[in-house]
Amino acid sequence: MNFHLPIGTWVESAVDWIKDNLDGLLDVVSFVVTFLVEGLTYLLLLPYFFVVIIVAALIAWLVRSWQLAIGTVISFGLIVAMGLWVPAMQTLALVLVAAVVAVLIAIPLGIWSARNSTVRTVLKPILDFMQTMPAFVYLIPAIVFFSIGVVPGLVATVIFALPPGVRLTELGIRGVDSETVEAGQAFGAKPGQILRGIQLPLAMPTILAGVNQVIMLALSMAVIAGMAGADGLGKMVVEAISTVNIAKGVEAGLGVVLIAVFLDRVTAALGSLGRNPGSLLGMLARRRSAQRATAASALLADAPAVHVEEKELQNA
């Protein structure tokens, strides 16, 4: 028995239908994505590259530690020394735009899934499919829709990086203590107020862990985006593979690693923002706490003297 279920043919027909009937929408998506990526790339590639390095180091110090700030300067300086500054910034722009788009989609979907069991049941197999499908497969319809360039690479990156953001957002919201939610309900809080005032703040560390994973997966797609024609380090890796250029491949791969380490450390620190002892925010928070403690001690020290003066006035 020679039976074949033509699922691939059905998908191809659906892709052709979308291409023929939603061409205007695809053009809008292509224009917006190109504008965002090229605009951010333009900002990152403004003259005086050391300004970008200083800003990145300040961000690292602000959220993590001065050690990470120094490591950021060294890492970005190494990228400059290898002559990879332009492709590295092109890759960084692509990753940041893809991560922002994925997060803007993932967090609302995760919240909706956490609050609605039907949505959760529908989303679960879809997310499983998105995570397990080889990333190269996403490029085929993306290239059909948007041709060669940065747009199909970004679309494939968003699809590949989306699932952990949805899952960890849902996990964080559902992991909030039910008694805390019930306490909010007992005080008359509406569902939106409970979400904003109780569930989201308590789930924020888990949600930020999902954001971290989204960014890491987006960066891991840099090479695949390069296969779709997106400029950057991924394109250099693809060229190195096609020409068996070991030196070029190693340098481009090292550039991806250096950017990945910076983004990973910074986004991981967001979950404990203001509590890292070596961060600038942590130092400022400790200084404010010390000032409050000093003021409280001064008030306590002055309290007996005030009490004595009051007793003397009463005796008089």
* Domain presence at residue 296: no
The three-state DSSP-derived secondary structure of 63-76 is HCCHHHHHHHHHHH
Question: Does the residue 227 lie in any domain?
Answer: yes
In a domain, 55, yes or no: no
State if pTM tops 0.85: no
pLDDT tens figures, 231-241: 888 888 888 88
Question: Is 259 within a domain?
Answer: yes
Side-chain half-sphere exposure of 59, counting CA atoms within 13 A: 15
User: The domain containing residue 248 runs over which residues?
Assistant: 23-46+85-273
Residue 300 lies in a domain: no
Q: Is residue 298 part of a domain?
A: no
pLDDT at 311 over 60: no
Give mean pLDDT, residues 133-157: 81
143, amino acid identity: I
pLDDT of 104:
92
- What the block records as the tokens of 35 is 């504008």
Residue 279 lies in a domain: no
Cα gap 29→38, rounded to integer Å: 14
- Helix 246-269 crosses helix 85-115 at what angle (to 10 degrees)? 40
What's the number of domains the chain is made of?
1
Q: Does residue 93 belong to any structural domain of this protein?
A: yes
CATH of the domain at 102: 1.10.3720.10
Decide if pLDDT at 296 tops 70.
no
Enter the tokens of residue 186: 């007992």
Residue pLDDT, tens place only, 77-131: 999 998 888 999 998 998 899 889 999 999 999 998 888 888 889 988 888 888 8
